A and B are shown apart, each in its own frame.
Chain A
């Protein structure tokens, strides 16, 4: 489902991208340390899940490249829905589907099953926005993509903690 294996060797599509500051660790509040108080899943928590995903071609995180932002995360714990919009660094980025897939997989692995998740490109920021969104929304294609060893390898690399 993803075209182009431009990972690793070869020239980078965008060799000198803008980089953004990383937000610090979320401070632990007294409420979070209290056994009794339930903490609901909020936008920051979702953002913390995806901000440290590695970009497939830069040694940078999606947060540093501003591909994901906390304001583009919508979550409702009681309704069990999450929507994440991501912004490719350039409108022709061939990595867009791969990045979307990584976000999707990270959420699948990290959120309770009750959640219905929607990962899509920030409207108007990519040339083939519609096609990519369609692929990401298609459960069967996502599942099939993860059967592909090469793709799974790249996704796992994006999700591995940086050494």
Chain B
């Protein structure tokens, strides 16, 4: 009590004395904060507080002493930054001394020491002295959890700030800590303790002779078996403990000799989580271990991993086992060897090969894939491992391929080969001659070509994938190989209907390989395709029409598929455009579908050009004027219409051209787009045709004036162009254009052109910045709409349109149509207002729509008379269907009653849309839904006998989803549901029976053992 005695000279302040008395004797908690606040504000010093406490600190009654020290500690916790070095020395001496005191006092003493451990002014040497005192005087594990936590905090604080001093303690510190944490049980404390051990190791504290003890005191918790109590306020998950313990165990190679046997033992355990944890920990260890640590355990580790991968039923065990093998191999590959040491990698890999090789020769047996996966996991670890394994496995597999003659066996073998080839892509070899695949190249190629000519589609598919992987190996394939490969791809591109998947894969492969070998494709494939495309044009009289069509179609698809390299685009694009012109000149009979097919090919080429600015401009410059010229030509009033003239103006054909022009425009740079806009807008407004490639037309092109309806339809192409422009491109003659568009959009004669005009108007409005001009245009639109009641699907007019929709829902005749309007508003309009077209699509559009309008709908529903209620329900269910689920969930309680009501609505569309809305809710919010289980079961069962097949299916899917609700809620209904679901098992439609079977099966499993 030297400190207290020294401080007694100063007279206590009256108020302070009163507060202290209230706290110590009056057992009130408030004064502690008050005193701390006063000390912080400078009213008293810590010295004065100690003085005021004076006698209570020395009181013979331990409870009073505890209370006194508690006050002091609480003040210190808040004011430790104000302490002076001299005060700290005294306080530390005092607290160290109190550690010997009565057990009631200890918690407060520890709090005080924790406050002092945070103190910056702590002089050197005292941290060590505090720790020694704690190690000596306190039996930590007999303290309550909170106080144990305090001790760990003191240590953590000192380790953070006094690392050098603590290291001075040498291994004594480690030993002291080991004794302290030995027997810890609380997950909160364990997290801190594991952290401390991790720091001890990673910051290189001396462990001395206590490595094994330190390992024991932590590894006794492995594998973690902890289930957080329900409603755990501390939020500690099992995973947190697993990860922090793993960080400790895998932090040092010095644990290896103890840890590896433990891991091997636990992998062998029956418990799934123990297996997984052990494999994952092994995986983590390999990051710090070397050959030396693993050496003695490799055979056992391999045996355990192999057994798990061979026998497991769990995909996670398999994945973790493979990952562990991968890390083991990587670890062995990277270890630096002493000159005299044996390279363990070779013997380890030889072991793996020996155990797996023979399974590869049995492509029908269960172990073939686990073996291949093990070999591939090891081979993926390093270039050296990859060489070693593939040089052994590839000859074997090549031989096996020829030994087995069945297609499905060959497919399995080729799939394995493919897996090994893919691994080679990970490593780059500097020297061309060193590449291990070169030796096998010829054999691999002949094998792939065999697969490509096999009648089995699955084998062909694997062959195609293998070809792509071989092609991706730099400088592997010779030009002769490529020519052969291109020949095969050409053949596969014309496969018939029943091998669609193969044809698609061949096209994709052509695209992938064409980027790497453009010369091979433009010299061997494009000319053949051109010839094929031209064939029909010459002898249309001969041959079967439908074959010709499908060959043409395949040809077009192949042309667009290979257009992945700029140099190839320069050949394919003219071909496609020329083909379109040929059709236009009437050299061949062309149906709508054929023209659309050409447009679709053009669009795919455009998509492939988007990323490369040069190709993009080339495409735009070449294709857009050509398409416009053809369309304008077609729209001219003329007596001798060629067939195509009409075809080109059909809705679907124009829609296809719209996509081409849109795609060709979106990725243009603003200055190039400006060049283009200066030609195209005058074409439509003034009939200026000078930039079109063939521009001698019989009469003027005036789509907005009194031109023919054919000309007006071409406004769709204008829309495609202007709506896809970047936002900062200025549009010439904007005012005139907008007025013309509004006029046209209200023109009643042709819905196609007025819709196009309305969309175009909306697209332009969307790109305008807010301001007077925008307001004027909006006013223009509103006036026009109000005058004519002719809505375009224009989102900027949504507000006006909406007002009306809200008004109309009450109208029995127009109500259903208005409700469908909601569906339109909530769905995305693909061609005009999309992000890709540089339109400003505000995020959360749907959310805002929802919050703005649903209350009105709900209110309207309650106010409405019985016969128009379905209209409201229909509107609501359309809105909910399109809404992101996270937005919907919080609103659920208010809407649910309405949705349940909608289930009783007799309209099939409402029923279907409500069911499809409820089904995901059952999966995502089972708790809320379980309140209504009674209604849900009844209604779903009723709907499962609806006359509409789609409703029956949806209702049964909901019955299936119901099983996600908490089992106790469902069990009372189980017998009733199982009985009721027997009826749809005999439905006349197979698709309904399928849903009934899966729903009933799940209900049977509810609350039953083994489910």
Give me the interface of A with B, judged by CB distance under 8 Å: 8-9, 12, 15-21, 28, 32-33, 35, 38-39, 41, 45, 48-49, 58-60, 106, 109-114, 149-150, 152-157, 159-160
Contact = CB atoms under 8 A, between A and B. Distances in A.
Contact of A38 (B311, B989, B1010): B989
Contacts of B477: none
A153 B1010 contact: yes
Nearest to B985: A112
Query: Which of B311, B366, B985, B1000 has the most chain A CB within a 10 Å cutoff?
Result: B366
A12 B311 contact: yes
Nearest to A12: B311
A154 B1010 contact: yes
B1008 A156 contact: yes
Given A110-B985, A111-B985, A149 B1009 contact: yes
B313 interface: yes
Contacts of B1000: 109-110
Contacts of B365: 16-19
A84 B842 CA distance: 59
Interface string B969-1002: 0000000000000100110111101100100110
Interface of B: 270, 310-314, 359, 362, 364-367, 408, 948-949, 982, 985-986, 988-991, 993-994, 997, 1000-1001, 1004-1005, 1008-1011
Nearest to A106: B1001
Given A35-B949, A111-B985, A152 B366 contact: no
Contacts of A38: 988-989
A32 B366 contact: no
A114 B997 CA distance: 15
Given A32-B991, A109-B1000, A110-B1000, 13 more contacts: A15-B366, A19-B366, A38-B989, A39-B989, A109-B997, A110-B1001, A112-B986, A149-B1009, A152-B1009, A153-B1010, A155-B1010, A156-B1005, A156-B1010
A112 B985 CA distance: 5
11 contacts: A9-B270, A16-B366, A19-B366, A39-B988, A41-B990, A49-B997, A111-B985, A153-B1010, A157-B1010, A159-B1004, A160-B1011
B1001 A18 contact: no
A156 B367 CA distance: 26
Nearest to A18: B364
Given A16-B359, A17-B365, A160-B1005, A59 B313 contact: yes
A160 to B, nearest CB: 6
Contacts of B1009: 149-150, 152-153, 156
Nearest to B411: A21
B311 A159 contact: no
Nearest to B365: A16
Contacts of A16: 359, 362, 365-367
Given A39-B990, A45-B993, A111-B985, A58 B1005 contact: no
A19 B988 contact: no
B502 to A, nearest CB: 15
Nearest to A59: B313
A9 B1005 CA distance: 24
Nearest to B1003: A109
A106 B367 CA distance: 29
A105 to B, nearest CB: 9
A32 B988 CA distance: 10
Contacts of B1001: 106, 109-110, 159
A33 B953 CA distance: 11
A156 B991 CA distance: 24
Contacts of B994: 48
Closest CB pairs A-B (n = 5): A153-B1010, A156-B1010, A112-B986, A59-B313, A38-B988
A156 B1011 contact: yes
A72 B464 CA distance: 35
Contact of A28 (B310, B364, B948, B991): B991
Contacts of A154: 1010
A17 to B, nearest CB: 5
B64 to A, nearest CB: 62
A48 B989 CA distance: 15
Nearest to A150: B1009
A152 B1008 contact: yes
